[in-house]
């Protein structure tokens, strides 16, 4: 791989990670009541969360408590959580993309064509309640 391609790949990966981190930060605050400064709204005040959302919020709080147990400040715990979550998600997307390459028979296309991917369309048929419950279609 030549230097130009490596640089373009690096720039693309960094930009994708930044987009994911921004989205995670916005969802933490807007949906789960976890602010970037480390303050956390009481779960009872988040009346828009259903049982699944409340469970996710509890998991988020547990992850943040684990990070804070190492002496990390509340604000830095949020930063670390967002960074690690974005990193994990991006790695999973990259793995899916690699597995769906035409010359591989590991899995059908799942992310390469977005919502038009065969795997995504199959997922929508198998689990329609999950895909319709999200504004982005799952």
Condensed to tens digits (0 to 9), the pLDDT of residues 84-134 reads 999 998 988 888 777 776 665 566 666 667 777 777 777 777 766 666 665
Please tell me whether residues 45 and 66 are part of one structural domain. Answer: yes
Q: Are residues 21 and 83 in the same domain?
A: yes
Burial class of 53 by CB neighbour count within 10 A (0 to 12, 13 to 18, 19+): middle
Tell me how many domains the chain contains. 2
Write the pLDDT tens digit of every residue in 54-80.
999 999 999 999 999 999 999 999 999
Look at residue 34 and give its three-state secondary structure.
strand
- Are both 59 and 127 inside the same structural domain? no
Cross-strand bridge partners of residue 40: 34
Q: Which domain holds residue 34?
A: 3-99
> Do 65 and 128 share a domain, yes or no?
no
- DSSP at 47: T
Q: Is the domain of 94 the same as that of 26?
A: yes
Q: Are residues 122 and 72 in the same domain?
A: no
């Amino acid at each position: 791989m030549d230097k130009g391609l490596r640089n373009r790949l690096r720039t693309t990966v960094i930009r994708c990670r930044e987009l994911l981190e921004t989205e995670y930060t916005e969802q933490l605050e807007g949906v789960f009541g976890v602010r970037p400064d480390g303050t956390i709204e009481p779960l009872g005040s988040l009346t828009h969360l259903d049982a699944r959302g409340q469970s996710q919020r509890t998991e988020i709080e547990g992850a943040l408590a684990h990070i804070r147990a190492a002496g990390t400040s509340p604000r830095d715990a949020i930063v670390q959580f967002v960074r690690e979550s974005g990193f994990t998600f991006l790695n999973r997307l990259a793995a899916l993309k690699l597995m769906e390459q035409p010359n591989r028979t590991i899995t059908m296309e799942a992310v390469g064509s977005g919502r038009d991917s065969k795997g995504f369309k199959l997922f929508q048929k198998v689990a329609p309640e999950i895909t319709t419950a999200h504004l982005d279609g799952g």
